[in-house]
Structure 1
Amino acid sequence: MDWEKRYARRAERMRASEIRELLKLLDQPDIISFAGGIPDPALFPASAFADAYRDVLGAETAGTALQYSVSEGYAPLRAWIVARMAEIGVPCGIDNILITSGSQQGLDYLGKLFLSPDDTALVTWPTYLGALQAFNSYEPRYDRLNPDGGNMTPAAYRDAAAAAGGSVKFAYLTPDFANPTGETIDRTQREGVLDLAEALDIPVIEDTAYLPLRYDGAAPPSILALDIARTGSIDASRTIFCGSFSKTLAPGLRLGWICAAEPLIRKLVLIKQASDLNTPTINQMVMHRVADAVYATQVPRLVAAYRAKRDAMLAALERHMPAGVSWTRPEGGMFVWVTLPEGFDGAALLARAVESARVAFVPGRAFFADGSGANTIRLNFSMPPVDRIDEGIARLAGVIRDSRP
């Protein structure tokens, strides 16, 4: 059977995740890995999860935990999220919340809902690789979303999309501690994104996976909060807020959520029903119990631990990197974005770094919709121990010095 001849056209744009492949390096104990954008498992509230699983599998709730459930999600967990959204200035109700199997599923659903072949998605340059993978299946083209404004007018975006055979369907960005750059856009830039979306009459997808992990500075309002201030209510807003428990409590339960206008949530529920019926009930019940019990103390614990790791990485970069190398200084999140001198290729550098120095990172090219950014790399600081960060950066700096083109 020649399987390639039988696949739909969209399969041509499905590619293996460079990050998923690099995670295999974590099994090699001599590798210092800055590759995976993953939480430190030592910080998981494991005992709280163990207690919660025992609780929900007790005689009174086991039947519910192990049964099918409504596609919208477990009501008490959605109510907890409603309260959390209120804390960040987003008044909403339970009908504005859909539970997803990780925020990645939410991105896939949004791509499926909005994108037809040759439609345009506006994304930052660079942007989250997982978003590109989720959207690629629906055969879009990409145009550059510049939160600073740039020289692209709404008319120019419209004309370029029409010339490609489609229309502009949405703008996607991670406004807080972005993956991969670690950068945060300010309030003026957020307002500018909303202005552009209003002019184009498109939704804004606000990916907030790292939002709680702020180490310095004051938090600007979320784009959804700014949108509601303009429109008067969440049901009149155009912003779609994608949240996650993966970076704060644990990624293994695969739980995220979408908060948006109720008509959009109702449409996404139909996709959920056709996809997996419902996110596992037992995981939702457990997450509700754990979030209710430890979220308020867990987030400050993470912030303290990850701040120390970020500071260690920034100090190591300052100490060891040769002239001509620059990097971001994130106020939160999990990543530092490094720009190498022109002529470097991050993928080739990775091969040399793993072979000769036993240190890993993610080449930057994968985060650019147009395949540019060869001289960039992404470093993760949340996973490696503090005492190995300096050693790993020193090794990497040595490879960079020896690899100048």
Structure 2
Amino acid sequence: MDWNTLLASRGARMKASEIRELLKLLDQPDIISFAGGIPDPTLFPAQAFAETFASVMAGPLANSALQYSVSEGYLPLREWLAARMAALGVPCGAENILITSGSQQALDYLGKLLLSPGDTAMVGWPTYLGALGAFNAYEPRYERLDPLDNRPAGELVDAAAPGAVKFAYLTPDFANPTGETLPLAQRHALLDRAEAMGIAVIEDSAYQALRYDGEAVPPILALDVARSGGIENTRTIYCGSFSKTLAPGLRVGWVCAAKPVIQRLVLMKQAADLHSATLNQIVTHQVAEKLFDRHVAGLHATYSARRDALLAALAREMPEGVSWTRPEGGMFIWLTLPEAMDGAALLARAIATEKVAFVPGGAFFADGSNRNTLRLSFSCASPSQIDEGMARLGRVMRSRLEK
């Protein structure tokens, strides 16, 4: 049977994630890995989850926790999230929240909701690889998103493109992969541009809670609410997640948006998986109520120390011609290498000779360009591993530059 003859056209655009493949390296004990953008499992509130799962299954919610539920998600969790969004400057109700199986599912649903084949998605350059993977299935074109581009709206994209421009997608806080945060002025400029073009804004805020220093910047949705007078008048769709704060394995994320958007997404949820796991939602809600802020404060202390260790090691070990970002939060630092150096070739050499791993940067560009870049994640490496890993990476780079 040749299954290729039966595949839909979008199947050709679906490729293996370089990051998911690199995560397999974590099983090799001799590899120092800066590849996976994942939280440190030793920091999960495992005891709180164990106690809460046991309590739920022994209590009055046991039957409903194992039963089918509403597609919108567990109401107390949505109410808790609505209160959190209000604290961020987004007054809303539970009806403005949809629970998803991680924010990755939200991106898939939004691609399905907004993109027809040939439509244009404006994305960062670079941007989150998982977003490209989610959107690719719906056969879009990609254009570079630059909030400060002052050209007329009609000149920002290829005039010959067959479809419409539908949305701008970005991670405004501690972006994956660069670690950078979009300044307030550029957030306003993005909303100006989106209004001029009549498009939506997808705000991927998976890392929003992981700010270690610097001044907090309001979410784009909060700015949109202030401009438009209320969430029902906004064009911004906010995607959040507990994966980087509490635990990714439970797959609990959410979308916050105007009700017409949520109602459409609910229909997709009904057709796709009916609802996210009820038990996971109930337990996530109870754990979040008990310890969310206290737990996140602990993450800040650990991750900020690792970020500082990586910045110091980069300054000490990187050869001339290499530059990097200096994030105020999140999990990532982005390196730009000399133009002649290819990140993918460097990775192969680094693994073979020094047993150190990272993610080549070309995968984060919709056109595969800018191959002289790479992403380092500091979330799972101890300071001693960071020091040793950067010494190894520096040796590999110097050996490549000497050739």
Question: Does the residue aligned with 1:194 lie in a helix, a strand or coil?
Answer: helix
Structure 1 residue 385, shift from structure 2 partner: 1.4
Structure 1 residue 59, shift from structure 2 partner: 4.3
Find the aligned partners of 1:260 and 1:394 in 2 and give their Cα distance.
46
Q: Tell me the alpha carbon deviations over residues 252-305 of structure 1, each in whole angstroms, 9 at most, x when there is no partner.
A: 000100000011100100000000000000000010011001101011000000
TM-score when normalising by structure 1: 0.98
Find the aligned partners of 2:161 and 2:370 in 1 and give their Cα distance.
24
Q: Describe how 1:126-145 pairs up with structure 2 within 5 A.
A: 126-145=126-145
Structure 1 residue 218, shift from structure 2 partner: 0.5
**Of the candidates 237, 246, 268, which is equivalent to residue 240 of structure 1?**
237
Match of residue 397 from structure 2: 400
Contact 1:215–1:303 (8 Å) recurs in 2: yes
Match of residue 81 from structure 2: 81
Find the aligned partners of 2:86 and 2:379 in 1 and give their Cα distance.
28
Find the aligned partners of 1:263 and 1:150 in 2 and give their Cα distance.
30
- Aligned CA-pair RMSD: 0.8
Q: Tell me the alpha carbon deviations over residues 29-80 of structure 1, each in whole angstroms, 9 at most, x when there is no partner.
A: 1110000000011110000100110011114211100000000000000011
Find the aligned partners of 1:153 and 1:322 in 2 and give their Cα distance.
41
Structure 1 residue 152, shift from structure 2 partner: 4.1
Match of residue 28 from structure 2: 28
Contact 1:121–1:168 (8 Å) recurs in 2: yes
Structure 1 residue 155, shift from structure 2 partner: 1.2
State how many pairs are aligned. 402
Q: Tell me the alpha carbon deviations over residues 120-146 of structure 1, each in whole angstroms, 9 at most, x when there is no partner.
A: 000010000000000000000000001
Question: Does the residue aligned with 1:68 lie in a helix, a strand or coil?
Answer: coil
2:323 matches 1:326: yes
2:352 matches 1:355: yes
Match of residue 153 from structure 2: 154
Find the aligned partners of 1:386 and 1:16 in 2 and give their Cα distance.
31
**Which amino acid letter does the alignment assign opposite residue 128 of structure 1?**
Y
Match of residue 96 from structure 1: 96
Find the aligned partners of 2:163 and 2:16 in 1 and give their Cα distance.
27
Match of residue 367 from structure 2: 370
Match of residue 315 from structure 1: 312
Q: Runs of 4 or more off by more than 3 Å in structure 1?
A: none
**Of the candidates 381, 390, 394, which is equivalent to residue 387 of structure 2?**
390
Structure 1 residue 150, shift from structure 2 partner: 2.8
**Which amino acid letter does the alignment assign opposite residue 27 of structure 1?**
D
Q: Describe how 1:276-355 pairs up with structure 2 within 5 A.
A: 276-355=273-352
Match of residue 271 from structure 1: 268
Structure 1 residue 173, shift from structure 2 partner: 0.3
**Which amino acid letter does the alignment assign opposite residue 268 of structure 1?**
L
Find the aligned partners of 2:329 and 2:252 in 1 and give their Cα distance.
22
Question: Does the residue aligned with 1:337 lie in a helix, a strand or coil?
Answer: strand
Q: Describe how 1:106-121 pairs up with structure 2 within 5 A.
A: 106-121=106-121
2:207 matches 1:201: no
TM-score when normalising by structure 2: 0.99
List alignment gaps of at least 5 residues for structure 1.
Answer: none
Find the aligned partners of 2:327 and 2:260 in 1 and give their Cα distance.
36
Structure 1 residue 386, shift from structure 2 partner: 1.7
Match of residue 219 from structure 2: 222
Find the aligned partners of 2:355 and 2:151 in 1 and give their Cα distance.
43
**Which amino acid letter does the alignment assign opposite residue 293 of structure 1?**
K
Structure 1 residue 156, shift from structure 2 partner: 1.0
Question: Does the residue aligned with 2:143 lie in a helix, a strand or coil?
Answer: strand
**Which amino acid letter does the alignment assign opposite residue 140 of structure 2?**
P
Match of residue 69 from structure 2: 69
2:158 matches 1:179: no
Contact 1:157–1:168 (8 Å) recurs in 2: no
**Which amino acid letter does the alignment assign opposite residue 205 of structure 1?**
I
Find the aligned partners of 2:67 and 2:151 in 1 and give their Cα distance.
51
Structure 1 residue 157, shift from structure 2 partner: 3.0
